[in-house]
Chain A
Amino acid sequence: DTGVSQDPRHKITKRGQNVTFRCDPISEHNRLYWYRQTLGQGPEFLTYFQNEAQLEKSRLLSDRFSAERPKGSFSTLEIQRTEQGDSAMYLCASRPILRGGNRDGYGYTFGSGTRLTVV
């Protein structure tokens, strides 16, 4: 296990369909994050998990979006009733909880993302 794996790499779906993405983090990393990146922009935070607990969700995460991390291992991100505005790269990242009160942003490892196109 040398990195963060995301599946699928690409997904084309029709508007209104549901899609689910999977992220397999680095096994010893407690924290898992989801970000969304649109063309020409930086990634935007969606949500994060510490082990199996979802601790924070962005306002970007509408009711159509749901994320899970059962057993604190892999995570899934589901988008229901997709819209054209959902077209983006969905990035997963993981990091360990560091000593010293978790003060550092260091240790993030990003996956290569899932590119979603809604037609």
Chain B
Amino acid sequence: GAVVSQHPSWVICKSGTSVKIECRSLDFQATTMFWYRQFPKQSLMLMATSNEGSKATYEQGVEKDKFLINHASLTLSTLTVTSAHPEDSSFYICSASEDSLGGSYEQYFGPGTRLTVT
């Protein structure tokens, strides 16, 4: 149980174009989804937190207009990188959590999407 998928697993796009990455919780309803960015040989940096049906909460320094997050349903969140530039090339990872009676908000991680902007 608790499987999270991401699509695509890798994508190459040209500078100036937009790219959409999907994150799905396959066997549970994710009330909250998180988007991370991981640079080579570095840790995961939280970009934003999204709750179903409401606007995402972005971390300091993350451009809201550049990284559009939509959490339209309890099983799907999307991250759109708009007007991509080479410096946006990175590994994007999503995670999902479900409210539990025990107060455990454990996150389940997707496999990641490698974005390369040329």
A and B are partners in one complex rather than unrelated chains: no
A residues lining the B interface (CB < 8 Å): none
Q: Could you tell me which B residues sit within 8 Å of A by CB distance?
A: none
